[in-house]
Structure 1
Amino acid sequence: MRMPCPYGIIMFGITLLNPVFLAGLVTVAIPIIVHLIQMRRSRIVDFPSLRLLRLIDMKLSRREKLKDIILLIVRCSILFFLVLGLAQPVFKAPKGTGGRGATSMVIIVENSFSMDTREANISRIDTARNAARNAFESLGPADSVLVLNATEEPKGKILRNHALAGNTLESLRTSPRPSRLSGAIEHAVKELLASTTVNREIVLVTDMQAADFGGVREKLAKVQEKGVRVILVDLGRQETPNLAVTGVSFPRGAIMPDQETVLAVTVRNMGADPTGTTASCFRGGEKCGETAVAAIDPGETTTIQFPMKFQKIGPAQGRVVLAADSLETDNTRYFAVNVVKEIPVLIVDENPTAVPHEAESFYLRRALRPLTALGEALLLSPIKPKVVSPDAFGRTDVDKYAAVIFTGVGRINRAHGDKLRRYLESGGGVLIFAGERINPKQFNFAFYDRASRTSMLPAEIREVEGDVERPKEIWNLRVRQPGHPLLAPLRGVSDSLFGPVQVYRRFSVDLSTMAPGASLIDYSDGKPAVLEKRVGAGRLILVTTSAYSSWTDFPLRAAFIPFTHLAIYHMARIESGALSHIVDSAVIFRNIARLDVTSPDGQKTSVEAETSSHGRDGFFRSTGLPGVYKALLERPDGSKSEEAFSVNVNPDESSQTRLPEDEVADVFEPVQLVRVDEVDRVKSAILTARRGTKLWDLCFYLVILLLIAESILANRVFHRETRTGIEADTADVRKIEAARQRARSASASPQEAEVAS
């Protein structure tokens, strides 16, 4: 098969860059013509007897003719390969493009922080920059180029402005942002499809992390059969020892001043060999602890702890740092906490002035703030409950409380419901325990939102089930969603805590009105016991049994204290261990009017609240720098507060898991792939792939060898030609004389011998 090429002829994958020299093939006929002209005619020799012809060796004649033919073929081959070499043949892969035309090149350099890994005291990003320079040197003045990195939003066009591309390349640095290689490939494909040059190339310099190649094949499929070539420069073949801090957290709940707490630090071995290190902890700018980390097996994680205490109320910060290794970016993990004096909680009780131990809120108050017989705190709890009646609730400013708890309240009206709706939409939390005084019809009506025509309750309350005096059935509790943020701290012990709880009386709910995933804890018969619903920026939790011991022994069980505390922390969004965010992720502040954030480098950013489904929220998105950020929040009522949050690199970027070889072939199947493992070979590999494998050197080597062979053969033939007339005839005479002698000796008489001779 043969098809035209603007810069040569392509046949069976062989390209002739100078096909005009093929006209020289007519010279191959010269040796043939000369051979035919100078062909030696056979001499006629007269013999007295035909019997003597048998004595001539016919093999000698055939051998000499074969030498002549071989010499002719050698001389023709010399001229053929000489002409072919001048035509400059190259071999190109089936998906390759023509060689001498203009080139459009997109250079993509992986610059996530994993490229900070040092090998032989040289970082991979420096090696990647050198590889990109070598690729840059393969371009000519008429070629166009675009330089992209894998972490920022790709932009720019392929231009002949080599100076601009060179400046972009020299200014390239690693970034704490995660890799977005798929987006860079998509932009490169778009630019190359718009190009009309003969050669279209993507030079990808990467450490081959498996996580970076998601969606790449789909982007490359757009240029399948379009002649696009990918030069893959692999810089991640060598595994290096590396430990990374993958997480820091405090126990769930509020942190109070002068309260002893524990910072849990997780360290993971990202390398291939067991490795140990030393970890240091800093509170603010002061070092507060150091500990040795025993050797960790590859891929395994260990947890170390630092005891810690904060003295001041308000935002606090710190960091954990590992000893230096091949990749130092993931050796540091920042943390931020908001130290609070107390968490105010409002409890609404139907009759709070009754005998204390007979009030519906009795066990609830003791669970939230346990006291001794003398009224002193039994344990340090940040929760400070205040009990009011339904009438007093109508006059109370609920915005001052982190959460509101209703326990057995029957007297609730539409005004109470509207007040709770506004509180929930602004980010508050409401916990409702059922009780004997609840009227389901009135309760459902009070919590029905006429504006949205939806109920604030997770499900409509129906009739009461169970008899306390003569219980026919007793239900136990079963955790339905152990991974829910409210129940996650109890993972592993939740069944032993909630399983023994016995419930004698409860409210049923209309399952047809229950939102999907609303049930957190079920009864043993499968009906919901604890339900949750998001209302605006807040959360409402409904418990279908009582907080008093008349309906259930739940308040007397060990599960009641952690459940109530975790419910308060969950509704008030007090999650000390979750104040860390990943680089480039949005941080959301609920129910604010304005937000002023100071980044770790001192840059200040103001954010106006946006209207969302949860109300007025602030979205801070400029989290591209690891460290601790300080935020000044302004609420809709004009009040202000300070908070802190930390931003850390994604530990997944530290992984040294490479893309498997079989997946490499699959990802790059739509294009012609050229793999390069050595930086110094990048330029030559690109030129070879662009022009193909040069074959003209081989042609000239064959010409030299054939000339040597022709010289040897021609010398032997010429020597044979000069002595044929003497040596051949002499040999024939000697053979005839020998025959005469044999004939004489065999004859009976001289006369017979004479006749025989």
Structure 2
Amino acid sequence: MAFLNPLLLLGVTGVSIPIIIHLLNKRKFERVVWAAMRFLRISVEQNQRRMKLEDLLLLALRCLLILLLALALARPAMPAAAGGLFGQAKVDAVILLDASGSMTQTDGVMSRFERAQKAAELVIDALPAGSCTAVYLASDAAQGLIPEPTYDLHLARKMVREARCTDRPSNHFPPLVRAFAILEGRRSVRKEVYLITDRQALGWRQMADIRKALQAARRDIQTHVVFVAGAEDRNLGISDLRLASGLSPVQHPLRFEVQVTNYGRKMADNVHVTLRVDNDPPIEEADLSGIPPGASRSISLFAKLRADGYHTVTAQIAPDRLPSDDVRTVAVRGIQAVKVLLVDGEPGRELRDSEVFFLRHALQPVPSVESDRFFIRTMTVTPAQIEGVKFDDYDAVALANVTDFSEKAVAGLEAYLRRGGGLIIYLGPNVNPTFYTDRLFTRHAILPAAVGTARGDAGQTDRYAGLQAPPYDHPLVSIWNDPMSGSLTSARFFRWYELKPEAAEKPAGEAGPSKVVLRFADGTPAVMERTWGLGRVILFASTADSAWNDLPLRPAFVPLVHRSLGALVQRQDEGLNVRVGQKFVFRAPAELLSRDVLVLKPGLRDDAPRDSRRVELTSGGWPILQYEETDRGGAYEATVSGDPPTVLRFAAQPDPQESSLEEIAPAHETELGAVANVIPWSPGTALDGAIQKERVGTEYWKPLAILALILAAAETGLAHWFSQSK
């Protein structure tokens, strides 16, 4: 026996009230000797037994009436096995259907998600008549198919059958918290949550929080965890795809790095990888062999973009039992030309003495006769000319060994960065550290670090500092994690400035957080960067020429310069690639404001229905296109109305962790079983029996209330009858 309102059991103490009143009202007799009283005494003696029985009967009825009222208000309930007389109590339920990427895995006949759908239908069938249920797709968030419990169980079955799996990562904690919040305020004897999922360990990474939430809700809510999948030992997936060449000019070979991971327990051989642009056939392919269990291998493939604008590039391997990670797509913007302004802080007498000599040739690594046709165009000015330059005419600005410049030029650079420009700064013997630290770092927060004292001696070439060895974490230099790409460690730095990032841990205003791109061998920063407004700033601790280091003489210098330029130019395009489930936000040109946008999801035909959005003006004054429904990995196409229409492509990438075959640990499953009903299930087996044996059964407050009314009527009638003269 259980009570839903146990505090109201205190009302049982009210049974003592009629007893106390009865005792207080007992009549006390005084003996009076009188001859006429003899006849009255004989009458009383003859009726005394009957009167006592009548009083005791009324007292018992009144006590029982108070007892029944107290019990009815406390809402008693009994297990289902003992409640057959009144039928099963109604259930308020929430069904959480795991729709994360791992649920697309198949056994060759049926996917895990299809199993989960069948299990969810059986759960609905097992609900007693008059029950209601909500239905949610669960991943790292809860997506409501039926947000509030409905009594239309036919609708619930329909929504379960029509549900589609997503590529989102799994995390069971947020959906469970959402389910408990829905049921918390509902007045029902039975409240149940059904989490139908596979055994993937990723979903239980917040096990401590999950167990705490289950324990807190356990008193009022019964949670059932239905496991619908068995073990799997093979899976290959594309865990990363990125543009490795830094820039994406049209009609030039672009290098893409494809990473394939073996998530299985056996060696993977002869992995065929293809690369295609947009919806065209594959343009390059290669094979990977010998990927051990748990290991990753990378391969470089090349592609060309035929026209400027937005494109998608897709890498693919042969399909296996988890198809969602066999394809990966990135979005890139093809560019016709990149204009770079070089500010030469020390022009020199000869062309080779120029501070930007090596930088200019790295940006245009072609013969001079072809430089005019090369996609990177450069313009060189002196610091004295900087105030007369219109920065917006250039995609990037490079300051090389510039002493300082006016406040007007600083304000111009700020406005340029705010609108999405890129700035590279190389230090050197001419720079004024006080100006760079006080003005550009402290006051305007343009620099990612303060400029400290100069270290080393450019005249002593036998004493130098080297760069850190791999692995590299920052995307700008991650290409050198592959030995086939060359090495940065051969470069020697004879003199450099200290960069002090510890003073720039917190962003200020429009400045983003400071990040270390590359370190010296002793761990101090050599290259740092930060975002500023819609632009980016990269700061090098040494010179752009060979006066303080020999990096410009090394093979790695050209790709490092190009990747740095790519990081600046593609700053505004970073939002083209999002994680599955992440909101896509794109700053549109002003002329597209208030235009309608139609978005085509991955895997759909061109004539399929599209989602409608609009380019809206945000509080910051920028026209913004936002799209939230990025639940599927792959290429999205947004068509902005106009004549002609503007086509924008972006891509969503699944979380590589969702490809893991690691299952929930036995110890965690034991912990889970202590606070929830864990049910392993496979198609063809019963599910209702495992559910019903855990149910807290029928409420009895209505029968008790009816009985109390009957007793109240009986007590009133008997009291009236007993009071009549006999």
Find 2:106's aligned residue among 105, 118, 130.
Answer: 118
Matches within 5 A, 1:358-377: 358-372=353-367, 375-376=369-370
- The answer to whether the 8 A contact 1:284-1:317 is kept is yes
C-alpha separation in 2, matches of 1:348 and 1:584: 43
C-alpha separation in 1, matches of 2:249 and 2:575: 17
Give how far 1:353 is off. 8.4
Find 1:341's aligned residue among 333, 336, 339.
Answer: 336
Matches within 5 A, 1:384-399: 384-399=377-392
C-alpha separation in 2, matches of 1:448 and 1:194: 53
C-alpha separation in 2, matches of 1:521 and 1:120: 47
Provide closer, same or farther for how the CA distance between residues 591 and 544 of structure 1 changes in structure 2, counting only shifts above 3 A: farther
- The answer to whether the 8 A contact 2:195-2:225 is kept is yes
- 2:628: which partner in 1? 621
- Partner of 2:488, secondary structure, is helix
C-alpha separation in 2, matches of 1:310 and 1:303: 22
- Partner of 1:686, secondary structure, is helix
Do structure 1's residue 647 and structure 2's residue 652 form an aligned pair? yes
- Partner of 2:281, secondary structure, is strand
Partner deviation per Cα, 1:644-696 (whole Å, 9 max, x = no partner): 3322333433333221222112134324545545553102222333389xxxx
Provide closer, same or farther for how the CA distance between residues 427 and 192 of structure 1 changes in structure 2, counting only shifts above 3 A: same
- 1:213: which partner in 2? 204
- 1:285: which partner in 2? 279
Letter in 2 for 1:608: E
Provide closer, same or farther for how the CA distance between residues 512 and 624 of structure 1 changes in structure 2, counting only shifts above 3 A: closer
- 1:712: which partner in 2? none
- Partner of 1:134, secondary structure, is helix
Letter in 1 for 2:559: P
- Partner of 1:652, secondary structure, is helix
Letter in 2 for 1:153: Q
- Partner of 2:409, secondary structure, is helix
Give how far 1:217 is off. 2.3
- The answer to whether the 8 A contact 2:468-2:523 is kept is no
Partner deviation per Cα, 1:599-620 (whole Å, 9 max, x = no partner): 34554533335457x9887654
Letter in 1 for 2:167: P
C-alpha separation in 2, matches of 1:413 and 1:580: 38
Provide closer, same or farther for how the CA distance between residues 597 and 648 of structure 1 changes in structure 2, counting only shifts above 3 A: farther
- 2:160: which partner in 1? 169
- The answer to whether the 8 A contact 1:368-1:381 is kept is no
C-alpha separation in 1, matches of 2:348 and 2:639: 41
Give how far 1:235 is off. 1.3
Give how far 1:145 is off. 2.6
Matches within 5 A, 1:494-573: 497-498=488-489, 500-504=491-495, 506-507=496-497, 513-515=503-505, 520-521=517-518, 528-573=525-570
- 1:133: which partner in 2? 121
Find 1:186's aligned residue among 177, 181, 185.
Answer: 177
- 1:606: which partner in 2? 614
Identity of aligned residues (%): 24
- The answer to whether the 8 A contact 2:576-2:586 is kept is no
C-alpha separation in 1, matches of 2:192 and 2:213: 15
- The answer to whether the 8 A contact 1:486-1:570 is kept is yes
C-alpha separation in 1, matches of 2:630 and 2:576: 13
- The answer to whether the 8 A contact 2:238-2:326 is kept is yes
- The answer to whether the 8 A contact 2:224-2:676 is kept is no
Q: Which moved more, 1:298-307 or 1:393-402?
A: 298-307
- 1:420: which partner in 2? 413
- The answer to whether the 8 A contact 1:344-1:403 is kept is yes
Letter in 1 for 2:413: L
Letter in 2 for 1:627: G
Letter in 2 for 1:537: L
- Partner of 2:245, secondary structure, is coil
- Partner of 1:539, secondary structure, is strand
Letter in 2 for 1:684: G
Partner deviation per Cα, 1:463-484 (whole Å, 9 max, x = no partner): 6666656x59944143499312
Find 1:197's aligned residue among 185, 188, 197.
Answer: 188
Letter in 2 for 1:105: A
Provide closer, same or farther for how the CA distance between residues 681 and 610 of structure 1 changes in structure 2, counting only shifts above 3 A: same
Partner deviation per Cα, 1:48-88 (whole Å, 9 max, x = no partner): xxxxxxxxxxxxxxxxxxxxxxxxxxxxxxxxxxxxxxxxx
Find 1:319's aligned residue among 314, 318, 339.
Answer: 314
Partner deviation per Cα, 1:566-585 (whole Å, 9 max, x = no partner): 22222223799996432221
Find 2:472's aligned residue among 468, 482, 501.
Answer: 482
Letter in 2 for 1:565: H
Provide closer, same or farther for how the CA distance between residues 336 and 685 of structure 1 changes in structure 2, counting only shifts above 3 A: same
- The answer to whether the 8 A contact 1:280-1:287 is kept is no
Give how far 1:413 is off. 0.7
Matches within 5 A, 1:37-186: 100-119=88-107, 121-151=109-139, 152-154=142-144, 156-186=147-177
- The answer to whether the 8 A contact 2:468-2:521 is kept is no
Find 2:666's aligned residue among 655, 661, 672.
Answer: 661
C-alpha separation in 1, matches of 2:214 and 2:539: 52
Provide closer, same or farther for how the CA distance between residues 603 and 170 of structure 1 changes in structure 2, counting only shifts above 3 A: closer
Give how far 1:119 is off. 3.0
Give how far 1:632 is off. 7.7
Provide closer, same or farther for how the CA distance between residues 163 and 445 of structure 1 changes in structure 2, counting only shifts above 3 A: same
C-alpha separation in 2, matches of 1:352 and 1:110: 64
C-alpha separation in 2, matches of 1:4 and 1:108: 27
- Give RMSD over aligned pairs: 4.2
Give how far 1:212 is off. 1.6
Letter in 2 for 1:217: R
Provide closer, same or farther for how the CA distance between residues 102 and 466 of structure 1 changes in structure 2, counting only shifts above 3 A: closer
Letter in 2 for 1:476: A
Give how far 1:419 is off. 0.5
- Partner of 1:584, secondary structure, is coil
Partner deviation per Cα, 1:109-149 (whole Å, 9 max, x = no partner): 22234333333523333332222222222222233333322
* Runs of 5+ consecutive residues of structure 2 not aligned to the other structure: 5-77, 507-513, 605-609, 698-726
Give how far 1:348 is off. 0.9
- The answer to whether the 8 A contact 1:252-1:575 is kept is no
Q: Which moved more, 1:546-555 or 1:272-281?
A: 272-281
Provide closer, same or farther for how the CA distance between residues 101 and 128 of structure 1 changes in structure 2, counting only shifts above 3 A: same
Letter in 2 for 1:157: E
* Runs of 5+ consecutive residues of structure 1 not aligned to the other structure: 7-88, 635-639, 693-757
- 2:29: which partner in 1? none
Give how far 1:417 is off. 0.6
